[in-house]
Structure 1
Amino acid sequence: MTGEDREAGMTMADRVDKVLDEGAAPALHGLVVVRGGRVVLERYGAGDDHHLNRPLGHVTFEPDTLHDVRSVTKSVVALLYGIALADGLVPEPGESLLRQFPEYPDLVADPVRARLTVEHALTMTLGLEWDESVPYTSTANSEIAMEAAPDRHRYVLERPIVEEPGRRWLYCGGAAALIGRLVAVGTGRPLAEFARTALFEPLGIGSYAWAKGADGVEMAAAGLRLTPRALAAIGALVLDGGRGIVPGDWLAELTRPRVPIDDRRRYGYQWYVGTGSPRWIAAHGNGGQRVYVAPERDLVVAVTAGDYGDPAQPSTTAVLDELLKE
């Protein structure tokens, strides 16, 4: 039997275990794969971890261990927005963004900013001066500067507009902060509280944490801590059309490819959408956090990992490459 023959006879679990045994995914912390509505593969590792920028030391991960999901938080907030929208508690995407922030009358009166809509925030096409290309340990990073500002929402909304809104996707944690604020104001409840009753409890997610900024407000851009099983449950929700928890028409809007990112990806409403076949939808977080949904394969993959600050996310990439070979 040739090596290729042996490879062809390997199961999904065999392939993943080979990657792990060979040390090709050293920072993998957790993996849950759901197919046909049931968990078909689950793996946990150990390694150095962080809570945002605070080291947690060496952690042995288990099914109930919470993990930073970083920017996957943005995608969860988009789900919450859709739930609130169905109840008429937040504005439609096409409505004016600045009018939702009457506490900043000088910005509301600015005719240039009047062109901004809620959809521009949902799609990260605000056209603002914003830079998250430097490490998330420096206030030269716009998201970190936002969190250090006396008023994070004003900080975002008063950034100079440097190009026509809606024209180009630019990664912007500030956009998620604005969407989170609309949800909290519209529902009259903190994000974590609304998430608990509207999304987490209906999904059977009982364990989570949501970090707050210095102002005591949940960080909508990157504050959530969840388990891989919880991430998989969120992915399964997206795969299953919302299950009556998130409106199906909102999921269709949320996962519609709207703005080009590169040759392989488009952006929907705070979720990534693949351009090729088979179709995929994903939520990404710094370090290799991932919710990957492949509807045509009836597949959900949830990953937590510790490759923080590495845009290649090698551990997550190595595992996903093996899972998606078939």
Structure 2
Amino acid sequence: MQRNYWPTKEWQSGDPEALGMDARKLAELEPVIRSGYGNINGTVIVRKGCIAYESYNNGYGPDDTHHVASVTKSVLSALIGIAVDAGFIKHADQKVLDFFPEYVPGAADGQIREITLRHLLTMTAPYPFEDWHEPLDKMCIQPDWVKYTLDMLGRQGEIGTFKYSTAGAHLLSGIITRSTGKSAREFANERLFSAIGMQEIPDYEMKSFGFEDLFGAEVRGWVRDPGGNSTGGWGLTLTPRDMARFGLLYLNRGFWDQTPIISEKWVKESTAMNDNHYGYLWWLREEGGVHAFMALGDGGNVLCCIPEKDLIVAIVSEFIVQPRDRLTLIKDHILPAVLD
């Protein structure tokens, strides 16, 4: 997709009408957000590569970073793709245990030997917990999160059945560290963030590993485990503008200003619709012939990319339990503002 400019240094804002959006309907967004989505701290809508709408609430501004929770997973997916492109990882079907040769599974744990990166990326690896009841708190008190996850991996269930696991995403971060010699944070700063104009993520020292340190208002930079691995399933802090930059990279099939950052093949595989509606750590949705891929995080953090509309919606939110569905906001109040 040809662009007149790239927001590597700063974004351009455009007149909504010139970008094919109804300015009147966009103006109705602010009262809707304030009245029904009070924990939204920032919203950026990008159409045709320019910011068509931007608003901030609760005392935040465009330069403030926010803990985007599981949006982190989709960034990690990109890093795995970049590592494959660079030859640090052979391919998505490489066995997980290739990266942990010191780990010796028990004789009864045959399944773990067959689990690949693709299974972790698509959430189709088996674990011993019930679906959507992952004991993440147990992982967070372990001295070695990677070993804890390997000990769970392949237990019960069958390979190929969808089961959402944040620990599995963290294992992918461990694989980034093992294969590249850099943490996911370091690798992202070097190979992804700097290339598309995102802020460098600072090295934030983890002084303790309590709830607030790992999940709460104390989160800074990119959370890491006791072994120094960046958390793979959450813990990254971003501005909504930088979330939108990341979305724009995927909307342009991995290219940024004619430079391939992620292979087009990886982007296509990551966002191709399937029966689970889940790609390589991206949620997938198709409705009315419109395909969207999304990074979704607890509390209502959302990066929604709609290629057919050349549209990106980035929303950052304060964590609350059971926030109102952001997809309803997008469907009822943002998509109707698209004129062409």
Normalised to the residue count of structure 1, the TM-score between the two structures is: 0.83
Deviation at 1:107, TM superposition (A): 5.0
Q: State how 1:198-237 maps to structure 2 within 5 Å.
A: 198-208=191-201, 209-237=221-249
Residue 188 of structure 1: aligned partner: 181
Residue 319 of structure 1: aligned partner: 329
Q: Which amino acid aligns with 1:170?
A: K
Secondary structure of the residue aligned to 1:279 is: strand
Residue 14 of structure 1: aligned partner: 27
Unaligned runs of 5+ in 1: 1-8, 47-59, 135-140, 261-265
- Could you say if the C-alpha distance between residues 207 and 305 of structure 1 is closer, same or farther in structure 2, counting changes exceeding 3 Å? same
- Greater shift in the superposed pair: 176-185 or 89-98: 89-98
Q: Which amino acid aligns with 1:274?
A: R
Residue 271 of structure 1: aligned partner: 282
- Could you say if the C-alpha distance between residues 307 and 17 of structure 1 is closer, same or farther in structure 2, counting changes exceeding 3 Å? same
Residue 48 of structure 2: aligned partner: 36
Preserved contact between residue 116 and residue 126 of structure 1 (Cα < 8 Å): yes
**Of the candidates 151, 155, 163, which is equivalent to residue 161 of structure 1?**
155
Q: Which amino acid aligns with 2:273?
A: P
**Root-mean-square deviation over aligned CA pairs:** 2.1
CA distances 1:124-172 after superposition (whole Å, capped 9, x unpaired): 11111235746xxxxxx52221121121112112126221101x21110
Q: Which amino acid aligns with 2:162?
A: W
Preserved contact between residue 305 and residue 316 of structure 1 (Cα < 8 Å): no
CA distances 1:43-84 after superposition (whole Å, capped 9, x unpaired): 0001xxxxxxxxxxxxx2110111001001010000011011
CA distances 1:205-240 after superposition (whole Å, capped 9, x unpaired): 125311112333211110100000010001111111
Q: Distance in 2 between matches of 1:20 and 1:258?
A: 32
Q: Is 1:130–2:124 an aligned residue pair?
A: no
Secondary structure of the residue aligned to 2:73 is: helix
Unaligned runs of 5+ in 2: 1-21, 202-220
Q: Distance in 1 between matches of 2:129 and 2:273?
A: 23
Preserved contact between residue 28 and residue 316 of structure 1 (Cα < 8 Å): no
Identity %: 30
CA distances 1:156-204 after superposition (whole Å, capped 9, x unpaired): 12126221101x2111001111111111111111111110011100111
- Could you say if the C-alpha distance between residues 94 and 259 of structure 1 is closer, same or farther in structure 2, counting changes exceeding 3 Å? farther
Normalised to the residue count of structure 2, the TM-score between the two structures is: 0.80
Name the one with the larger strand percent: 1
Secondary structure of the residue aligned to 2:110 is: coil
Q: What is the aligned length?
A: 291
**Of the candidates 145, 156, 166, which is equivalent to residue 173 of structure 1?**
166
Q: Which amino acid aligns with 1:123?
A: T
